[in-house]
C-alpha cells in the first residue's frame, strides 16, 4: 500500500490531492485518534495509555509484502531476535501467556500468516494486571481481518526468491440485503522453494470471519482458520561445544547447512467467537472464547561446532511437542460513573486458558554425521517417529479476575489503577508417567499517574508487578521436569507521548527486574540471581507530510545478570542481547509520477555476548530493504504492482543467540545461534475485481 493516504476499497478513493492546510490537519487528527486495545479496558487512544504500545497496521504489512507474524514484529525496534517466541525489551515471551488473537490466548510457537491479520498491537513491558500472569516480555495481540460493509474481491499473484509462487484472495461483503450478516474470506496458496538450494516452501490458508448483527446494539463475531506451513531444507541452528566460539556467520544460501528433508510441517486450526453488547452507549460487554489445535512435525537440525576450525556435528531432533491444544476465554465489562467531579472508567474482567502439550512417544535426537563450514554435507535421512503417536506431556491452566479504574480528575490529571487475582496450575508428565505439579495463586498490580500539560502531549509514570509461571527444570539437571514456584517481575516506566504534526512520538525509560534461573554447579536447576533490564525506547509512527510516512525507532538496553554469587557472571550482559537496536521504515509517495511510491527499511543490531561470563561476542550488523509500488487502473480495475528486495547488501550475520535453554534467555549449556536470511526478492500484482 501507499500508506494511509491511499485506500483501495473503491476506485474513487485513489486521489492525489494537493497539500493544503485542511489535509495537514486531517493527518494530525488521525495521529491524535490512533488507538489500541488495552486488554479488558478495551479500545483506548494511544495518547491515553501509560504504556509503550506499537501498532503495525495493514497498510504497512501490504507495502512490505510481509507473510507472517514473525515478519511483522521484526519491524519493532525493541525486538532483537528471530526466534520462535516473540520478545521485546530483551525478554522472551512464553508459549501462551504473552500471545493473543483478538484478545484471546493462543500458542506463539506456531505460524500465523500475515494475510489473515488486520494488524498487530504490542504492549511492551509488564501487563499482568491487565492480562494475567506472563513473562515480562510484553503482550502481542494479533488482530483478525473483519468483514467490510461493501463488496470487495481482491486477488494477488506473486513470485519470490527460490521461485515460490503466491496466490491469494481476500473476499468480503454482505450475505443479506440489509447487511446484518457480513463475511471476510481469505485464501492463500504459496508453493515452491525458498532461498536455500533444495529447500521446500508451502503456505496454505483458509480463513473465514463473520459478523452477525443481532440488533443495533449487539453483534456476534466469529473466526475460523486452517493454516498449513511447511518449510524444509533451510539452514539449521548452530550450537557451540564447550570452549568453542561462534565464527563469522556463513552464507545461509550455501548448500547443506540444513537437510532438505528436515524442518517444519505445522498445521494450525483456530476457531473463536465474540459476543459484544452495547447497553446504553456507556456500559459495554465483550464475551469471547477460542479453541486452537496446533499440530507440528518438527525435525529441527542442529549443527554443533566442535572446534574452532569450523568442524561441526549434525543432529536432528524429533522430540519437541507435536501438538498443542488450547481453550481460552474472556469476559470484559466497561463503563463510566461519576463521584462528584471525578470520572471513573471502570473495568471488570475475566480471562484464562487451559493448555495441553503432547510429545511424540518415540521422539529422539539422532546424530547424522560430521561436516565443516567449508564443506557442508548432505546426510542420509533418518527414521522419524509417528508424530501422531503422542503422550500427554504437560498441562497448564490459568484464570485471572481483573479490576481496573481510570480516575479522571481534570483534563490534565488522571490515575489508572488495575489489578488481577490469578490462579495457576501446571503439570508435567514424562513418557514413563512421572508427574510434577505446581499450584499457586497471587496478585498482579499496576498504577499509572498521567499528566497532559498540552492536548497533544502526555507524560506518565507507571509501576507494575506481575506473576509469571515458574520455569520447568531443563533436561539433564538433577531436578529435570520439576516446576519452580511462580516468579514475580517488577517494572518502572517513565514516558511521554507527543503528537507532532501527523506523527505519534513515544519516549519511555524503563527498568524491569525478574528472577533468573539456570542449572548450577551442583546440577540443580533453580533461581540463582536476577535479570535487570534498564532501557530507553523511542518510537515514531505516522505521516511526516502527506507524502512521507515513517515507522520505527531506537532502543538502548542495559540487560544485566546480577546477584549470582559468582564473580565470573556477576553484573554481566545477558546472552544474545545488544546495547542498541534501531529500525526505521520510510515510505515516500512521488507526486511527479502519480501512483508511484518507494520505501526503505533500515535496521541495526549491536554486538552481543554469547556466554554468561561475556568472554565471547559476535559483532553488530545492519540491513537495508528497498521497495516500490505503483497504483493504477488496469481494465477499469484498481491495481497495485509491488517489488521488494530485503537485505540488499546480502549481509551474513548471526541472529537469535540464546543459551541452551529457551526459558526467557535463561538455561544451561552453550549458546546457539541462527544464520540471518540472505538477500531476497518478492514481486506481486494486486487487483480488485
Quickly state the pLDDT bin for 619 (edges 50, 70, 90). very high
Contact assessment for residue 245 and residue 259, using Cβ atoms and an 8 Å cutoff: no
pLDDT digits (tens, 9 = 90+) for 165-213: 999 999 999 999 888 999 999 999 999 999 999 999 999 999 999 999 9
Please state the φ and ψ torsions of residue 86, each to the nearest 5 degrees. -70, 155
Strand 621-634 relative to strand 637-646, pairing: antiparallel
The answer to whether residue 295 scores a pLDDT higher than 80 is yes
User: What percent of the chain is predicted at pLDDT more than 90?
Assistant: 75
> Quick one: which of 429, 292, 408, 289 has its CA closest to 358?
429
Instruction: Report residue 13 as a C-alpha cell.
Output: 478513493
The four Cα atoms 491, 492, 498, 503 give a dihedral, to 10 degrees, of: -30
CA 666 to chain centre: 20
Q: pLDDT (tens digit, 9 = 90+) per residue, 503-538? A: 999 999 999 999 888 777 788 888 888 889 999 999
Share of the chain above pLDDT 70, in %: 95
Q: Pick from 234, 294, 262, 458: which is nearest to 365 by CA?
A: 262
Decide if pLDDT at 9 tops 50. no
Give residue 22's pLDDT band: very low, low, confident or very high (50, 70, 90): low
Fold classification of 3-688 is Maltoporin; Chain A (2.40.170)
Task: Provide the grid cell at 79.
Answer: 525486538
3-state helix, strand, coil in the chain (%, to 5): 5, 55, 35
Question: Are 661 and 92 spatial neighbours (Cβ–Cβ below 8 Å)?
Answer: no
**pLDDT averaged over every residue in the chain:** 90
Query: What is the phi/psi pair of residue 29, to 5°?
Result: -65, -40
Per domain, the residue ranges of the chain are 3-688
Query: Helix or strand or coil: residue 613?
Result: coil
pLDDT band at residue 122 using 50, 70 and 90 as cut-offs: very high
Q: Which cell numbers hold the place of 72?
A: 511483522
Of 5, 1, 96, which Cα lies nearest the Cα of 547? 5
Looking at the DSSP assignment, which residues form a beta bridge with residue 172? 152, 184
Record the cell numbers describing residue 173, joined without a space.
461483503
Residue with cell 454482505: 174
Alpha helices in 286-442 (DSSP H): none
pLDDT of res. 1 = 34
Task: Calculate the CA dihedral of residues 61, 213, 227, 134 and round it to 10 degrees.
Answer: 70
Q: Are 499 and 456 in contact (CB under 8 A)?
A: yes
238, 78, 83, 73: which is closest to 663 by C-alpha? 83
Cα–Cα distance, 230 to 94 (Å, whole number): 23
In terms of Cβ atoms closer than 10 Å to its own Cβ (0-12, 13-18, 19+), residue 244 is buried
Q: How far apart are CA 316 and CA 301, in angstroms?
A: 4
Give yes or no for residue 17 having a pLDDT over 80. no
Three-state secondary structure readout of 618-678: ECCEEEEEEEEEEEEEECCEEEEEEEEEECCCCCCCEEEEECCCCCCCCCCCCCEEEECCC
Alpha-carbon distance of 98 to 565, in angstroms, equals: 31
SS3 of 70-98: the string is HHHHCCCCCCCCCCCCCEECCEECCCCCC
The mean per-residue pLDDT over the stretch 218-242 comes to: 95
Q: Which of 20-24, 89-93, 599-603 is the least confident region? A: 20-24
Q: Quote the pLDDT of residue 664.
A: 42
Residue with the larger pLDDT of the pair 643 and 485: 643
Residue labelled with grid coordinates 519437541: 320
C-alpha triplet 341, 344, 347: angle, nearest 5°: 175
Is the pLDDT score of 80 beyond 80?
A: no
Is the overall model pTM greater than 0.85, yes or no? yes
Is residue 2 within a helix (H) or strand (E), and if so which, with residue range? none
How high is the pLDDT of residue 689? 92
- Grid cell digits, residue 303: 549443527
Band of the pLDDT at 23, cuts 50, 70, 90?
Answer: low
Sorting pLDDT into bands at 50, 70 and 90, what band is 670? low
Amino acid at each position: 500500500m501507499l500508506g494511509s493516504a491511499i485506500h483501495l476499497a473503491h476506485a474513487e478513493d485513489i486521489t492525489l490531492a494537493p497539500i493544503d492546510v485542511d489535509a495537514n490537519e486531517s493527518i494530525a487528527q488521525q495521529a491524535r485518534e490512533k488507538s489500541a486495545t488495552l486488554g479488558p479496558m478495551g479500545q483506548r487512544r494511544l495518547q491515553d495509555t501509560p504504556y509503550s504500545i506499537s501498532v503495525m497496521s495493514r497498510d504497512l504489512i501490504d507495502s512490505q509484502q510481509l507473510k507472517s507474524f514473525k515478519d511483522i514484529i521484526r519491524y519493532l525496534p525493541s525486538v532483537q531476535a528471530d526466534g520462535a517466541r516473540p520478545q521485546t525489551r530483551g525478554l522472551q515471551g512464553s508459549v501462551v501467556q504473552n500471545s493473543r488473537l483478538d484478545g484471546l490466548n493462543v500458542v506463539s510457537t506456531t505460524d500465523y500468516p500475515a494475510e489473515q491479520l488486520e494488524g498487530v498491537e504490542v504492549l511492551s513491558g509488564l501487563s499482568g494486571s491487565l492480562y494475567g500472569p506472563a513473562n515480562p516480555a510484553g503482550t502481542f495481540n494479533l488482530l483478525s481481518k473483519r468483514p467490510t460493509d461493501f463488496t470487495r474481491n481482491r486477488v494477488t499473484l506473486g513470485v519470490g526468491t527460490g521461485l515460490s509462487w503466491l496466490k491469494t484472495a481476500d473476499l468480503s461483503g454482505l450475505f443479506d440485503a440489509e447487511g446484518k450478516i457480513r463475511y471476510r474470506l481469505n485464501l492463500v496458496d504459496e508453493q515452491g522453494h525458498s532461498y536455500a538450494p533444495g529447500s521446500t516452501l508451502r503456505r496454505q490458508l483458509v480463513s473465514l470471519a463473520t459478523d452477525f448483527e443481532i440488533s443495533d446494539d449487539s453483534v456476534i463475531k466469529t473466526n475460523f482458520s486452517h493454516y498449513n506451513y511447511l518449510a524444509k531444507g533451510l539452514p539449521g541452528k548452530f550450537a557451540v561445544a564447550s570452549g568453542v566460539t561462534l565464527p563469522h556467520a556463513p552464507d545461509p544460501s550455501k548448500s547443506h547447512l540444513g537437510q532438505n528433508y528436515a524442518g517444519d510441517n505445522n498445521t494450525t486450526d483456530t476457531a473463536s467467537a465474540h459476543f459484544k453488547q452495547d447497553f446504553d452507549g456507556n456500559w459495554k460487554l465483550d464475551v469471547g472464547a477460542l479453541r486452537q489445535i496446533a499440530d507440528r512435525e518438527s525435525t529441527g537440525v542442529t549443527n554443533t561446532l566442535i572446534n574452532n576450525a569450523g568442524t561441526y556435528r549434525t543432529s536432528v531432533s524429533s522430540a519437541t511437542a507435536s501438538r498443542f491444544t488450547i481453550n481460552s476465554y474472556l469476559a470484559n465489562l466497561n463503563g463510566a460513573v461519576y463521584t462528584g467531579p471525578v470520572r471513573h472508567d471502570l473495568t471488570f474482567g475475566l480471562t484464562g486458558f487451559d493448555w495441553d502439550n503432547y510429545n511424540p512417544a518415540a521422539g529422539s535426537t539422532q546424530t547424522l554425521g560430521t561436516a565443516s563450514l567449508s564443506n557442508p554435507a548432505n546426510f542420509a535421512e533418518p527414521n522419524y517417529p509417528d508424530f501422531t503417536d503422542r503422550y500427554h506431556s504437560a498441562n497448564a491452566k490459568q484464570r485471572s479476575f481483573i479490576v481496573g479504574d481510570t480516575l479522571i480528575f481534570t483534563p490534565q490529571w488522571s490515575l489508572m489503577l488495575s489489578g488481577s487475582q490469578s490462579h495457576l496450575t501446571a503439570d508435567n508428565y514424562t513418557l514413563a508417567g512421572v508427574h510434577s505439579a505446581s499450584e499457586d495463586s497471587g496478585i498482579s498490580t499496576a498504577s499509572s499517574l498521567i499528566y497532559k500539560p498540552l492536548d497533544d502531549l502526555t507524560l506518565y509514570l507507571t509501576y507494575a508487578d506481575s506473576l509469571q509461571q515458574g520455569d520447568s527444570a531443563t533436561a539433564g539437571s538433577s531436578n529435570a521436569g520439576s516446576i519452580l514456584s511462580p516468579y514475580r517481575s517488577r517494572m518502572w516506566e517513565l514516558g511521554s507521548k507527543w503528537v507532532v504534526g501527523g506523527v505519534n512520538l513515544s519516549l519511555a525509560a524503563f527498568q524491569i527486574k525478574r528472577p533468573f534461573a539456570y542449572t548450577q554447579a551442583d546440577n540443580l536447576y533453580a533461581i540463582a540471581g536476577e535479570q535487570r533490564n534498564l532501557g530507553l525506547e523511542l518510537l515514531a509512527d505516522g505521516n511526516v507530510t502527506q507524502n512521507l510516512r515513517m515507522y520505527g525507532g531506537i532502543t538502548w538496553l542495559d540487560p544485566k545478570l546480577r546477584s549470582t554469587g559468582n564473580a565470573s557472571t556477576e553484573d554481566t550482559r545477558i546472552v544474545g542481547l545488544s546495547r542498541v537496536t534501531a529500525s526505521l521504515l520510510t515510505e515516500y509517495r512521488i507526486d511527479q509520477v502519480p501512483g508511484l511510491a518507494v520505501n526503505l527499511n533500515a535496521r541495526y543490531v549491536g554486538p552481543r555476548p554469547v556466554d554468561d561470563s561475556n568472554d565471547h561476542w559476535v559483532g553488530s550488523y545492519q540491513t537495508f530493504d528497498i521497495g516500490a509500488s505503483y497504483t493504477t487502473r488496469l481494465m477499469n480495475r484498481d491495481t497495485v504492482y509491488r517489488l521488494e528486495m530485503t537485505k540488499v547488501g546480502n549481509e551474513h550475520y548471526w541472529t537469535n543467540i540464546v543459551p541452551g535453554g529457551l526459558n526467557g534467555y535463561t538455561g544451561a549449556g552453550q549458546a546457539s545461534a541462527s544464520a540471518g536470511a540472505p538477500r531476497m526478492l518478492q514481486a506481486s500484482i494486486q487487483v480488485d475485481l
